[in-house]
Amino acid sequence: MSRQALDALKQQIPLMGYLQAHDWHPARRLSRGRWMGLCPLHADHKPSFLVDPHKDLFYCYGCGRGGDVIRFAELYHQVRFSQALALLRQWRGAGPLLDEAARFYGIQLERHPEAVAYLLQRGVRSPALIEHMRIGYAPGGCLRGWLTQLGYPLPALCQAGLVTGAGYDAYVRRIVFPLEGNLYGRSLSAAAPPHRFLPGAKGGLYAWEQVRRYPKVILVEGLFDYAALWDAGFHNVTCSLGVHLNARQIRQLCEGSRTVYLAFDADTNGSGQKAAQSLARRLTEQGVHVRRVSLPDGHDPNSFFVQGGDARQFRSLLEAAQ
Ligand SMILES: [Zn+2]
């Protein structure tokens, strides 16, 4: 990559915007428009991370590291320079494309009765909920045509994972939930793998910006669990998209001081509860208050509500959580 191309990439991705998109929050303002906050690169307890938005540079007085947005991506994602460039290019390019795909899937939802029927069966019927989560449907076989007509080149669609190497829509008969920098697809068909993501990271905790201000947060495994709780009025709910949290999700739960209610599945094989136990241990070590919610055997939060549970009953499960 030439010097000019590097400068162009940096210009398109201001450091401050990239930091904030990765949950960095400035703690105080310094002179000459500079900011100070907790360092996202090491376990920082008093703000030592300095950002100068005009020079587009950072420096940490704690761990002694500093540089531009490319250096930050290298350190933050723990990758080499060339991989950091690829990640930044992907981050810059994929946003509008995924937004457009999500919008298209949103329009498809009401046109496909099989999708509406599946959502009903999972307790999702409220238009406010569907709008809040921007739930859509990928019937398959029509996204590629729509996006190329809008002017997105085919290689970009393949690179984002929306279209396969053979040229077909990657998501077929899937309920689609937009995430930050990704799309999650839940298959309607039992023959296909139930859960799919586009290539790349699943991102941080779901809807974290709306949840992080609550002193008590409920964490669930799946987006249908999230949907059931949100619909029942628990807006302090977030979702880790699986029982294994990535480093970023752990960091999000650990920032500030809060109580986390783990409401993982009570599967009959105990895997959800085992995962909740080890996560609880890990968070407790980091100083987070954790309570584990015991759902009736064989239930997850979604099935609890779908099979007649109500907000009052769930609230008593929260109160009983240890
Ligand atoms: Zn640092």
DSSP per position, 109-124: HTT-HHHHHHHHHTT-
For 216-245, what is the mean pLDDT? 97
Q: How confident is the model at residue 25, as a pLDDT?
A: 87
pLDDT digits (tens, 9 = 90+) for 268-290: 788 888 999 999 999 999 999 99
For 199-205, what is the mean pLDDT? 85
Burial class (CB in 10 A: 0-12, 13-18, 19+), 7: exposed
The answer to whether residue 146 scores a pLDDT higher than 80 is yes
The answer to whether residue 191 scores a pLDDT higher than 90 is yes
Ligand 1 center from residue 41 Cα (angstroms): 5
The letter for the amino acid at 18 is Y
Confidence band of 153 (pLDDT split at 50, 70, 90): confident
Longest dimension (CA), the chain: 62
Backbone angles phi, psi at 241, to 5 degrees: 55, 65
Secondary structure in 3-state letters for 27-93: CEECHHHCEEECCCCCCCCCCCEEEECCCCEEEECCCCCEECHHHHHHHHHCCCHHHHHHHHHHHHH
Q: How confident is the model at residue 141, as a pLDDT?
A: 93
Ligand 1 center from residue 247 Cα (angstroms): 16
* Cα angle for residues 156, 158, 163 (degrees, 5° grid): 125
Distance CA 301, CA 119 (A): 15
Ligand 1 center from residue 45 Cα (angstroms): 10
Backbone angles phi, psi at 41, to 5 degrees: -105, -15
Ligand 1 center from residue 278 Cα (angstroms): 27
The answer to whether residue 108 scores a pLDDT higher than 90 is yes
